Structure 1
């Protein structure tokens, strides 16, 4: 009898009892990546062809340094960013380049905030929150000639714009 009681009590302890159980779902709304397009190409105009020459372009389109300020081709870059989620913080990053011939260290203005490449690592970024689904940035900065250029030839330095959720 004692054995039955011990066996019966161990069965009661070993059997889990569930009072209630309900399944729930986790949901998410899908959204495309932002669209990034060039509205105005960045152009430093004409720069001195010798290694070490540096041209500075500010947010107003004014060049200083070893470049021709009268060159009609001088323009800041305008990059449009659309397809944003309103009121969502985004990190906007501009990455310059060093192709062995030219080094481009970018600067940008977004929402009246000027971001400069203070540490010369050719990367700048800021966080912005837009009330709507689009914005634009102005790109400018410093261009340095790393090796002698051929007069009259066109040279380019790439830059990349990244837009990420925060």
Structure 2
């Protein structure tokens, strides 16, 4: 697998405090050889497991670990689906309100199956392996997200 320290031009990984540029990510993922672009955007919703009245989320991250892990996921996407043309994995930190995007994963490929599968792998692996945590503000108080998972390694094929 490629070293995550060297991020190729066809890979966009980022951790940011800024609003995620959904349209720009989609435009970047376009490629003349790709007939499919799949873009997943995870947004802040008004409820969580056993919690109602969620008003905002605050994301924190082990920042120095995020980009290398995102790059590793992108490399694994390409290893599993070699036809992937472009791969993007971006996550936001800080305070986010309802309907704001907290995470975006995009994959472009010549055919939709590879694009869908690579994007699904990207978001699932990001959620399971990248050290990012969320604090939920809801009608009963403030808690760390119940869906938090222990940090794992990127699965190897």
Structure with more relative contact order (C-alpha pairs < 8 Å, separation 6 or more): 2
Same fold (TM over 0.5): no
Larger Rg: 1
Q: Hey, which of these two has a bigger chunk of helix by percent? A: 2
TM-score (normalizing by structure 2): 0.32
TM-score (normalizing by structure 1): 0.31
